[in-house]
């Protein structure tokens, strides 16, 4: 598949502080990519660099076969959706969506048709002549999305567009966004710090840490095969062991040495003996209900906390117990990169 | 009880603010007010006398010229510069916020002495020096007023949003910057206009009698006749009131125009909706 957006060795510093360090990645046409990472990792800055709202000191940006790093924002043909909507407050919904089209001097009929097609897509047709300040947060973000799509950009960048919305509207918009992206076959790069959101809507997730992409994988690979301790600990819950600790319970990993960290996902830890599994003596400390799952917090005799997740119908946990881990479920991560740093 | 307390407090404030104005009005309307607690009689002769005085009309004209010129300079030079800084050099903002407060820190007499020493022997007319000094003295009002308005509407992000839509700078200024800065610019223009219109110290010390503005005229007449000076004060107040209302009315009319335009386009929407 042909690369649609390519970044090569993108670097940006503010003063002495390096915000983006040598970032290179490719995005294919029609792909939904999410930049995921904690606050301050550079994900929004990276998005702004692609849009031309920040100017990287080094690097190449290619979109649809053309270098764009030296073009001003308005000539890049890139749509952008802001976290706090950035709607023009003195305009109506229609005027907001039509604003970019009017600047392109399209015919009035074409503008009307395109705006209403998009308002229909984001289900806001009846609000066309409403001032945007009278809309709810979810509606405002739909207008922002329609406005960004109106100019038919080559790629759409979304900077934490759902983070200011409440949970219910957010979930609905996540679905809508993915639906719209597929319907228009639009290439989208989405920024979020919410891993669940990233996993839910993306084709691929790029995890950023301190201005670097530390892993770029599908959501499934990211969860099951993290490539470094940061990703393993950032994505989902887990129980981590160092080499010496694990050797107390099993000899399977004895040949690997302490260059590695070992992670187990809470839902893969068994409470009944299974073939080939090693066991860890534990004592139940507490139970909490997290909607469809219950989370059991155990402690080993050395005081190590082990979390176990089970569906809500699992009630037969005795107070003292053994937990069983299949060595195949242990994620082994090389810590060399961390040691070097 | 709570409502009563609020009404009482507001009434006390209203009395506190309005009583000097009312007293000035009564003094300007009295024949004489010296021997008892009430004026001897009421008259409009001081107002009539004032409006027939060519020196008064000249002073009004000069103040008007100065205030209008200064408001224009502020809008042509300062406001675009500030917008530019806010959008493209936001890091300068913190330093500038401190710098613009300097006119408050420098006593007027020192400022005037320095200006006289620097410019009195040069070929630059003192009127232009006065304009420059007034420009500097207006910096805190203009900078803080416009800067706060830009932060309030998140102007940087609005302009960025317009840029990502491929909109050139001129339509951005016309359709995004101006409408969203209207409230701030209206208030700032009113404050600049009224401050310069009533300015005394810089004008008096730099040019004095050679360019008699309304306030200089008023103080001169105060020594001659207190009733006339009070009449000047009342007319000055009424003039600023009318100016303020005119600016607000003009703004409201502009907003109404936008609403009417929106409504006129409504049938087009409906036609399209019915068509689809």
**pLDDT single digits (tens) B57-102:** 999 999 999 999 999 999 899 888 888 888 888 888 888 888 888 8
Decide: A156 and A79 in contact? Cβ < 8 Å. yes
Which residues 59-98 of A have a C-beta within 8 angstroms of B? Answer: 72-75, 77-80, 82, 84, 86-92, 94-95
Q: What b/e readout covers A187-211, taking b as 16+ CB neighbours within 10 angstroms?
A: bbbbbbbebebbbebbbbbbbbbbb
* Statement: residue A324 has pLDDT above 50: yes
> Which DSSP string corresponds to A155-203?
EEEEESTTTTS-HHHHHHHHHHHHHHHHHHT-EEEEEES-HHHHHHH-S
Q: Distance (Å, rounded) from C-alpha A62 to C-alpha A78?
A: 12
Decide: A276 and A326 in contact? Cβ < 8 Å. yes
Q: Taking residues A50-72, what's their average pLDDT?
A: 94
Q: Taking residues A193-218, what's their average pLDDT?
A: 94
Q: Distance (Å, rounded) from C-alpha B180 to C-alpha B190?
A: 17
The residues, any chain, with a CB within 8 Å of residue B253's CB and separated by 6 or more, are none
* Statement: residue B262 has pLDDT above 60: no
- Inter-chain residue contact B161 with A77, CB threshold 8 Å: no
Decide: A284 and A308 in contact? Cβ < 8 Å. no
Confidence (pLDDT) at B102: 87
pLDDT grade, residue A317 (50/70/90)? low
Looking at chain A, the whole-number percentage of residues with pLDDT higher than 70 is 96
Confidence (pLDDT) at B257: 55
**pLDDT single digits (tens) B237-258:** 888 888 888 877 776 766 555 5
* Average pLDDT, rounded, for chain A: 90
A302: closest CA of chain B, how far (Å):
52
Q: Distance (Å, rounded) from C-alpha A323 to C-alpha A331?
A: 17
Confidence (pLDDT) at A167: 85
Tokens of A225: 């095969």
pLDDT grade, residue A85 (50/70/90)? very high
Q: Taking residues A134-146, what's their average pLDDT?
A: 93
pLDDT grade, residue B269 (50/70/90)? very low
- Inter-chain residue contact A84 with B154, CB threshold 8 Å: yes
How many Cβ atoms sit within 10 Å of the Cβ of residue B97? Answer: 13
Angle at A124 between CA A122 and CA A126, to 5 degrees: 155
Confidence (pLDDT) at B271: 39
**Chain A residues closer than 8 Å to B163 by CB:** 52-53, 72-74
**pLDDT single digits (tens) B2-48:** 889 999 999 999 999 999 999 899 888 888 877 777 777 888 888 89
> Which DSSP string corresponds to A8-21?
EEEEEEETTEEEEE
Looking at chain A, the whole-number percentage of residues with pLDDT higher than 90 is 65
- Inter-chain residue contact A89 with B180, CB threshold 8 Å: yes
pLDDT grade, residue A271 (50/70/90)? confident
- Domains of chain B are 62-275 (1.10.3720.10)
**pLDDT single digits (tens) B198-250:** 888 889 888 887 889 988 888 888 888 888 889 988 988 888 888 888 877 77
Confidence (pLDDT) at A318: 59
The residues, any chain, with a CB within 8 Å of residue A260's CB and separated by 6 or more, are A243, A253, A332, A333, A334, A335
ipTM of the complex as predicted: 0.86
pLDDT grade, residue B196 (50/70/90)? very high
What is the DSSP secondary structure assignment for residue B77, as one 8-state letter? I
């Amino acid at each position: 598949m042909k690369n649609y957006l390519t970044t090569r060795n993108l670097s940006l510093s503010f003063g002495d502080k390096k915000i983006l360090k040598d970032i290179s990645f490719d995005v294919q046409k029609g792909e939904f990519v999410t930049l995921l990472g904690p606050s301050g990792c550079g994900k929004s800055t990276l998005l702004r660099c692609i849009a031309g709202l920040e100017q990287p000191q080094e690097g190449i940006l290619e979109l649809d076969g053309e270098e764009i790093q030296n073009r001003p924002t308005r000539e890049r043909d890139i749509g952008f959706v802001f976290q706090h909507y950035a709607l023009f407050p003195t305009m109506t919904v229609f005027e907001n969506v039509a604003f970019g089209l009017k600047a392109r001097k399209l015919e009035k009929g074409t503008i009307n048709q395109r705006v209403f097609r998009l308002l229909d897509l984001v289900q806001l047709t009846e609000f066309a002549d409403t001032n945007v300040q009278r809309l709810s947060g979810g509606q405002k973000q739909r207008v922002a999305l329609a406005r960004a799509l109106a100019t038919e950009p080559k790629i759409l960048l979304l900077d934490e567009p759902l983070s200011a919305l409440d949970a219910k509207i957010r979930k609905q918009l996540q679905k809508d966004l993915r639906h719209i992206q597929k319907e228009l076959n639009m290439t989208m790069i989405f920024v979020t710090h919410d891993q669940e959101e990233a996993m839910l809507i993306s084709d691929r997730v790029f995890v950023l840490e301190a201005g670097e992409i530390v892993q770029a994988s599908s959501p499934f690979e990211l969860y099951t095969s993290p490539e470094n301790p940061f990703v393993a600990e950032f994505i989902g819950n887990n129980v981590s062991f160092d080499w010496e600790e694990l050797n107390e319970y099993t000899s399977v990993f004895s040949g690997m040495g302490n260059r590695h960290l070992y992670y187990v996902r809470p839902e893969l830890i068994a409470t009944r003996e299974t073939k080939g599994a090693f066991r860890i003596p534990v004592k139940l400390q507490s139970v909490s209900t997290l909607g469809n799952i219950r989370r059991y917090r155990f402690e080993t005799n050395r005081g190590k906390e082990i979390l176990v997740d089970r569906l809500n119908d699992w009630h037969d946990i005795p107070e003292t117990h053994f937990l069983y881990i299949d060595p195949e479920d242990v994620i082994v991560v090389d810590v060399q990169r961390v040691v070097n740093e | 009880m709570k409502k009563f307390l609020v009404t009482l407090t507001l009434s006390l404030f209203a009395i506190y603010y309005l009583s000097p104005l009312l007293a000035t009005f009564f003094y300007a309307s009295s024949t004489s007010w010296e021997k008892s607690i009430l004026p001897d009689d009421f008259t409009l002769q001081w107002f009539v006398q004032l409006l027939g005085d060519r020196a008064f009309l000249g002073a009004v004209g000069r103040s008007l010229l100065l205030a209008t010129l200064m408001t224009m300079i502020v809008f042509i030079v300062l406001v675009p510069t500030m917008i530019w800084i806010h959008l493209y050099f936001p890091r300068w903002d913190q330093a500038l916020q401190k710098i613009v407060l300097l006119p408050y820190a420098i006593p007027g007499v020192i400022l005037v002495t320095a200006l006289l020493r620097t410019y009195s022997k040069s070929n630059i007319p003192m009127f232009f020096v006065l304009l420059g000094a007034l420009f500097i003295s207006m910096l805190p009002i203009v900078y803080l007023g416009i800067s706060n308005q830009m932060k309030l509407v998140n102007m940087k992000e609005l302009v960025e949003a317009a840029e990502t839509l491929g909109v050139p700078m001129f339509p951005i200024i016309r359709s995004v910057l101006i409408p969203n800065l209207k409230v701030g610019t209206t208030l700032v223009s009113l404050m600049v206009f009224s401050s310069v219109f009533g300015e005394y110290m810089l004008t008096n010390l730099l040019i004095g009698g050679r360019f008699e503005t309304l306030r200089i005229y008023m103080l001169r007449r105060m020594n001659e006749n207190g009733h006339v000076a009070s009449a000047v004060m009342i007319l000055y107040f009424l003039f600023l009131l009318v100016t303020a209302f005119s600016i607000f009315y003009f703004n409201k009319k502009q907003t109404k125009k936008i609403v009417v335009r929106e409504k006129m386009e409504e049938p087009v929407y409906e036609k399209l909706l019915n068509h689809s």
